[in-house]
């Protein structure tokens, strides 16, 4: 018997007909994901985007590399652009914000009454290859993740992180060096 609660996925053939900027091979996106601005979204090969993921790319481009998994309930707000390298994982509930309201009281913090009275903080988010961001972490505008960096669950990231480091917390702290064996394993694929 077919499980009526199991999410179904659009495959590469179906996705290529929808108007994405680019779709590689072996791509699957849950029917319960929300993607806005698909004409600004490029997806590599061997990518899975799970249920309740939200990608807002109406104002900026989103580029997803190869061998990437975006787990359930993640949000990618790509007003200033997001670039995800190869072999990356965006875990459950992660939030990537490329724009954030300015809270200093000089400007409004929402779109009403007029967007011209907003001056948000903006910046592209860039993940080099082999990055993992742990569950329910929040990433602020302009952050760059060095190759192989890993972020522990429930972390708040507002500054760049160095390659092959493991970081966690709020404030974010360096914990230790991460092994780069996965980089060599990737060459065997």
Domain boundaries, the chain: 21-186
Q: At residue 110, does pLDDT exceed 80? A: no
| 40-84 residue pLDDT tens | 999 999 999 999 999 999 999 999 999 999 999 999 999 999 999
- Mean pLDDT over 80-98 rounds to 98
Contact present, 68 and 89 (Cβ < 8 Å): yes
Which tokens belong to 96?
Answer: 């990537």
Confidence of residue 166 (pLDDT cuts 50, 70, 90): very high
- Whether the bond between 171 and the residue before it is cis, its omega within 30 degrees of 0, is yes
Q: At residue 85, does pLDDT exceed 90? A: yes
Confidence of residue 120 (pLDDT cuts 50, 70, 90): confident
Q: Is the pLDDT higher at 72 or at 5?
A: 72
- pLDDT at residue 103, rounded to an integer: 86
CA atoms within 13 A on the CB side of 7: 17
Q: Assign domain 21-186 to a CATH class.
A: mainly beta
| 127-156 residue pLDDT tens | 999 999 999 999 999 999 999 999 999 999
Contact present, 31 and 11 (Cβ < 8 Å): no
- pLDDT at residue 21, rounded to an integer: 98
Contact present, 11 and 23 (Cβ < 8 Å): no
User: Residue with structure tokens 């780069």?
Assistant: 180
- Mean pLDDT over 99-116 rounds to 82
Strands 68-70 and 89-90: parallel
Buried b (16+ CB within 10 A) or exposed e, 116-152: eeeebbbbbbbbbbbbbbbbebbbbbbbbbbbbbbbb
Q: Is the pLDDT higher at 184 or at 95?
A: 95
- pLDDT at residue 118, rounded to an integer: 83
């Amino acid at each position: 018997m077919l499980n009526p609660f199991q999410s179904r996925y659009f495959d590469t053939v179906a996705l290529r007909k929808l108007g994405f900027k680019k779709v590689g091979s072996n791509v699957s996106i849950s029917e319960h994901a929300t993607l806005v601005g698909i004409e600004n979204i490029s997806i590599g090969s061997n990518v899975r985007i799970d249920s309740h993921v939200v990608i807002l790319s109406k104002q900026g481009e989103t580029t997803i590399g190869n061998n990437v998994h975006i787990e359930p309930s993640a949000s990618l707000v790509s007003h200033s652009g997001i670039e995800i390298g190869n072999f990356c994982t965006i875990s459950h509930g992660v939030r990537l914000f490329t724009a954030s309201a300015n809270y200093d009281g000089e400007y409004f913090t929402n779109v009403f009454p007029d967007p011209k009275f907003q001056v948000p903080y903006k910046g592209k988010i860039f993940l080099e290859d082999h990055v993992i961001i742990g569950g329910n972490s929040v990433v602020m505008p302009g952050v760059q993740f060095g190759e192989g960096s890993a972020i522990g669950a429930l972390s708040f990231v507002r500054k760049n992180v160095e390659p092959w480091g493991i970081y966690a917390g709020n404030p974010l702290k360096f914990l230790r060096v991460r092994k780069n064996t996965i980089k060599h394993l990737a060459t065997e694929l």
